[in-house]
Structure 1
């Protein structure tokens, strides 16, 4: 069921199958997704290269937030509004970037070199960004409103369990189940990056802060992600697709 090894041609073909359901566009017609397939990655634990990338981003994020709260940052506020649109309470289930920005003051945890690289881009741009192991995927990636009976794998008490989404929740999924709940709140165990992941798909979620600026923001984040991945994984092969209404 796993995705086979991809070259640039087959990566483009897989990305061609990705889509956003119309019911999601109805919630946020300004939404833009940047999907980036990376092959030939150099995995492993956090190291000097990923540390440098993350430290630079933490400094930028601290300057951006200043003495205020993360939710006062324009793009974070836009995601709070989007969460309310499908019934989530952003004070309880925060977007991924808000959760990270709330930890920047004390420094983010170092996870592994690939996760550190994309977390750095996320906080520097105040934009939700996730990375998942491509070999764990079955079928195309799509953003949908959940039925409520889909599989979503988590760890509970040291064992794998399923915590299905709420009906109507915005989720990323593949043929096997949900890969990320509440748009970008929480990733599943099955597709998470590990210290041995050599191929990945990175997902950047962008909304307007000012009318029409999501496309420009998405392009900036894409450029920064390319640069970050090339710093920690020289020679990586990248293929990108942007989804917009």
Structure 2
């Protein structure tokens, strides 16, 4: 095992789901994929191909039914309601993306485009964090109310605090993603210089383990295609 792989596996082994989150949704699983040696940059032909295929998949899948009726997205709406969020106002990330597919998904940068394409194609929330700006291990918890969340307001840097009980991903420095998978912080978001990243694939009961594994395989294939030579490690996190 290379030193890079060992470092990634050490990070994944330290990740935890707080029992309070497990009590809220015992069917929740997270597939974590850590990567090193990624090739960042602007959107390109490879990421465009992945996004175009995801857009077409979404148009076909949701031609006759709204996204919120899909079993996995409906389960995510229920999960949001369970901790007090209103999914009509703050939608689970996959639903928000899929609703944009008919008019065209956003083109952000090649790494973000890759994980957005997999999220839409496989109908599951999926986020990415820059490990060079991450502090400690990822933890999924219910907020205490005092954790900082770095964001922007009116175009300026701002710090918010989540309501107690909100489900959040966090590291040692604060909240990295609010409302399970709704919005990422500015500190750890992927950028045009990201070379080390953590990707989090979120699944609830309607998505089988086989479907979650297929989404993870699609992500790793896309990362290796767009970043030849990248080193990857993964872990299925259940408790």
**Is the TM-score greater than 0.5?**
yes
- 36-45 vs 219-228, greater mean Cα deviation: 219-228
Unmatched 5+ stretches in structure 1: 1-5
**TM-score, normalised relative to structure 2:** 0.97
Give distance in 1, aligned partners of 2:225 and 2:67. Answer: 27
Mapping of residues 155-174 of structure 1, within 5 Å:
155-174=152-171
Match status 1:89 vs 2:83 = no
1:237 — aligned with what? 231
Mapping of residues 16-165 of structure 1, within 5 Å:
16-165=13-162
Match status 1:191 vs 2:185 = no
2:219 — aligned with what? 225
- 1:161 Cα deviation (Å)? 0.7
SS in 1 for 2:23: helix
**TM-score, normalised relative to structure 1:** 0.94
Equivalent residues of 1:32, 1:214 under 8 A apart: no
Task: Write the deviation string for residues 142-194 of structure 1: whole angstroms up to 9, x where unpaired.
Answer: 00000111100011233211111111000000000000000000000000000
SS in 2 for 1:173: strand
- RMSD of the alignment, in Å? 1.0
SS in 2 for 1:109: coil
Give distance in 2, aligned partners of 1:64 and 1:166. Answer: 35
Give distance in 2, aligned partners of 1:215 and 1:138. Answer: 29
Task: Write the deviation string for residues 94-144 of structure 1: whole angstroms up to 9, x where unpaired.
Answer: 000010011000001100000000000000011000011011011110000
Equivalent residues of 1:31, 1:214 under 8 A apart: no
- 1:67 Cα deviation (Å)? 2.7
Equivalent residues of 1:36, 1:239 under 8 A apart: yes
Q: How many residues align?
A: 237
- 4+ runs deviating over 3 angstroms: none
Summarize the Cα distance change of 1:214–1:164 in structure 2 as closer, same or farther, 3 Å threshold.
Answer: farther
Match status 1:7 vs 2:8 = no
Task: Write the deviation string for residues 17-65 of structure 1: whole angstroms up to 9, x where unpaired.
Answer: 1000000000111101011111000000000111011111111111111
Give distance in 2, aligned partners of 1:233 and 1:216. Answer: 25
